[in-house]
Every structure is written in C-alpha cells, then in structure tokens.
Amino acid sequence: MPGDLQGTAYTEIAGEALVEWEATAPPAQADCAKLLNTVVGQHRVEVRVGTVVCFQTRAGRVGCLTVVALSRPGALDSLTTTVEATVWDRS
C-alpha cells in the first residue's frame, strides 16, 4: 500500500478515494465497499482523533483507517498523524 495514503496537512489525509465512516460501530469490508460505491469519494479528508475513514487503494482494494493520534512533538518537528489501518483482500 505504499503511496496509497498520505498526510497532506496536520489534520488531512489524501488518497485515491476516501469517505468518512460516521456510524458508531466499526465498518466491515462490505460496509466500506458499499459506502465507496454509494458516495463519491474525496481525494482529501479532514481528520481528528477518532475519525474512521473508508478508502480504496489504487489497486482497487478496500480498507478502513482510524486516526489514533495527532501530534507535533516539538515546535520545529514535523506534524504527525498516527492511524491504525486495515486493507482487505479483494472478495
């Protein structure tokens, strides 16, 4: 998945197709696939800690990520977005 997702700003993630998941329960593969086929995916999504995003890779695989931390350790340090991600095999 190298290059499929990237941080473009402190609170923004960019990728091929991204849609924020707004339900309280975490999405399954079928949930993200349905959402990505129903809603036009964005190339950039604003995030905060706890944001869940369904995405599609350039290879057409579906995944989801959860933002677990946003940090800037020091004044001159790079801004960092930490996520936990799952990319499912094609079904």
List, for residues 12-61, the tens digit of each pLDDT value: 888 889 999 999 999 999 999 999 999 887 888 988 999 999 999 989 99
DSSP 19: E
Spatial distance between the Cα atoms of 29 and 8, rounded to a whole number of angstroms: 26
Helices (runs of H) and strands (runs of E) counted in the chain: 1, 6
Q: Answer with the residue of higher pLDDT: 12 or 91.
A: 12
Q: Which phi and psi (to 5°) does residue 36 adopt?
A: -65, -25
Q: Say what the pTM is.
A: 0.85
Spatial distance between the Cα atoms of 5 and 77, rounded to a whole number of angstroms: 21
Tell me the residue type at 85: A
Confirm if 79 and 72 have CB atoms less than 8 A apart: yes
